[in-house]
Structures are given as structure tokens and as C-alpha cells.
Amino acid sequence: MKKNTAWATIRNLSIILAFASLGGTLLAQESKISSTLAPTPPMGWNSWNKFACNVSEDLIRQTADAMVKSGMKAAGYEYVVIDDCWQIARDKVGNIVADPQRFPSGIKSLADYIHSLGLKFGIYSDAGSQTCAGRPGSLGHEFQDAHQYAAWNVDYLKYDWCNTTTQDAPASYATIRQALDATGRPIVLSICEWGTHKPWLWGKDAGGNLWRTTGDIQDRWEGRIKWPNGDCCSNGMVDIVEMQNGLESYAGPGHWNDPDMLEVGNGGMTDTEYRSHFSLWAILAAPLIAGNDLRTMRSEIRDILTNQEVIAVDQDSLGSEGRRVQKNGDLEVWAKQMKDGGRAVVLFNRATTDREITVEWEDLGYPSHLEAAVRDLWQKKDLGKFTGKFSASVLPHGVVMITVNP
Ligand code: GLA
């Protein structure tokens, strides 16, 4: 009897110790800076899609001003990110040097200006020896660069994957996350290795807050085109959407699938197509990083980028990524669970003629006898109560985006 009691005590003690050490592990993870960042998909602007290497401090300042004046900041856009080509060399001791012609006042003063507007500042580098545009990469300079970014008050780093030869992707991204964390400054890490090594499987553990799932987007409806060097491929918007299907379970608060930056307003698609692009990014809980010229955008484009009801779907705090729940040729239904138990739904017409698309409640995980209120997020109008299903006529290459609330 006594023996049994002693064993029971030892067993109980070991259970307590096991829980204590599990608690310790969890605590260690929770205290990691990365897990406190990007509780909802990051929103902002990046220079690459419109300006490529043609970046300068004037452009970035004017864009930050336009972000405030256009209502983008009020709508939730926060990060102003300079992509490739801001950097030109390393100095004698290996510090990264900004192009003095294009950034004569230096990066710190630009970051300070952006912060003075209540916005946040992002920058770009690459895990390899050189960036994709041939500027110095961070390989071997990870801690030195992170230290420099923190000294400049950088809030966000997009970290690319060109010129990485035989590097291990998870290890390379974990190294830069360690370097960023060592500065003590909270810096969002945007992993950009184009989905090559399935970053959805390891991006969160490496400390990434978002990871590109595909090669680059280009400003066209669809069509994959090989790069001049024969590598595959630049993608149209619809090609990218197709590649998101099945990745939804990997996203959540603090760690997002990134189907690449927005092309809304860059001129290669119609406004209807841009509305589809924006709606699909929202249903995918994708980072909303605008890539157009904010200084000159038409009001129709501003209205797409600042539609608060569509943005609210993207930014829903549950952090559930939507998925395709129905496909019938060119007619698709995508749906996303919302924190309040409702659903956001995109009826997506990939065809070139008007089509009627129906969403059945059962596709949304609701019983067919349920009555639910439907609201159209582009018309900004309550459409009434519907039982079992909802149908709408959808423009060619268009969407109807609704919320369904039982
Ligand atoms: C890669 C990235 C792009 C952009 C360019 C810059 O192609 O995927 O988003 O950052 O490099 O050179």
C-alpha cells in the first residue's frame, strides 16, 4: 500500500513537472517577438509593382503623404515599404549603404518622416549574396543589417530569395528573424521565396509573419509567362488565386499566406477585374499591400482600395483564411468564416459573359433550412433574408461579394 502511494506521488510529481516544462516551452514561444506581430494581415504599400527600381526619397515621402490624404491610412493601410534598389553598396566595414543620389537625406530621416505621419516604415533585402536586382544581399551580414535597420527605426522587412545557391530556406529565414529579434525592435518579417520550398510548412516556426506562396504577380487577368532567363513564371491574378486553393489551413493570426502584392490601379486590368482581385485577396485573408501610384489614383481605384466592408473581411480578428467551396467550370464560390459566426462569400465569375452563381448554405457549413441576412459589400446594401441559398447575376470577370449572417 505504502509502495503504491509512493509511486502515485512520483507519478503525480512527474505529471506536474511535465506540465511545468510544457508551460515553459509555450512561454518561450509566446515571448518571441514575431508571434506578437501582424495579428491581422499587414496592410500598406510597396514600391515594386509600379516603380520597380525607380525609387527615391521623394517618391516615398509623396506616397506616404498620399496615403494619408487619400483616406488609405484611415482605411487601415499602415506600412510604407521600399522594395529593391534603395541600396547601392557596402562600406569598408560592411555596412549597407543607401543610394546617396536617390536618398540624399538618408533612410533614417525618411523613416522619421513616415513615423511622423503615424505610419510605419518597411525595407527590403535578400537572403542571398545579391538581391534580385543585383544589389548587395544580406548573406553573411544578417546581424549587421538587422542592427542597421533597427537604428533606422525600420518596422517591416521583406526578405527575398535571389542568389541563394545551395542555402537552406528555413535556416536562412530563421537566421534573419534571430538577427531582427536580437535588436529588441519589433520588426515584421515578410518571407519572399515564392513558395519554392513550401514556406507554409515552416514559415511560422522560422519566425515569418507572412510568406509569399507563389512567383511574382503581374498586372494582368491571367496567363503564366516564363521569365526571360527561362525560369517559371510570372503570373496573372487568376493564376495566383488558383494556387492558393488548399493552403488555407496554414494561415492564422501572426502568420499569413501572401499571394503577392496588389496590382489594383496599375492599368493592366479593368475596374471590374480589380474589384475581383481585391475581393479575392480579402477572402484569402491576404496581406493588403497596394502597389499603385497613390499620388495620382482615380477615385474609382481609391474606392476599391478603401472599401471598408471588404477590408473588414480581410482584417477579421478570427484570422481564418477563406477557401473555394464550390467550382463549376468558370463559376466559383469562395467563403471565409468570420469571428461573429457569419460568412463572407465571393461569387466569382471567371467567364467572359454574365453568369448566375448560387451559393448553397450547405457549402458554408449551415443547414439548408436556415434563414440568414445577406449584405452586398460592393453595393453596400442589405439584400434581405434568404433561406438555404443565395443567387446573383455576376459580371464577366466580376464578383458579387456578400456577408451571410444567420
Ligand atoms: C522578386 C520579388 C519581387 C520584388 C523583386 C525585386 O522578384 O518576388 O516581389 O521584390 O524581386 O527585385
> Model confidence over 155-179: pLDDT tens digits?
999 999 999 999 999 999 999 999 9
Q: What is the pLDDT of residue 194?
A: 96
Residue nearest to atom 6 of ligand 1 (CA): 84
CA-wise closest residue to 128 among 82, 168, 89, 81: 168
pTM comes to 0.92
User: Pocket of ligand 1, candidates 46, 48, 262, 263: which has the most ligand atoms within 8 Å of its Cβ, to mutate?
Assistant: 48
Q: What is the pLDDT of residue 26?
A: 38
Residue 306 CA to ligand 1 center (angstroms) comes to: 25
Round to whole Å and give the CA distance between 56 and 5: 74
Residues with CB under 6 A from ligand 1: 48, 83-84, 131-133, 160, 192, 194, 216
Q: For the chain, which ranges sit under pLDDT 50?
A: 1-31
Find all residues with CB under 8 Å of 62, minimum gap 6, and list them: 295
Region of residue 153 (left: phi > 0; alpha: psi -120 to 50; beta: else): left
Pairing of strands 87-90, 156-160: unpaired
DSSP string, 232-257: --BB-HHHHHHHHTT-GGG-BTTBEE
Find all residues with CB under 8 Å of 19, minimum gap 6, and list them: none
Q: What is the pLDDT of residue 2?
A: 43
CA-wise closest residue to 52 among 88, 80, 72, 82: 82
Give 334's strand partners.
Answer: 324, 346
**Residue numbers annotated as active site:** 160, 216
C-alpha distances in angstroms, 39 versus 36, 198, 339, 386? 7, 22, 14, 33
Residue 161 CA to ligand 1 center (angstroms) comes to: 9
Q: What is the pLDDT of residue 229?
A: 86
Q: What is the pLDDT of residue 359?
A: 98
User: Pocket of ligand 1, candidates 126, 192, 210, 229: which has the most ligand atoms within 8 Å of its Cβ, to mutate?
Assistant: 192
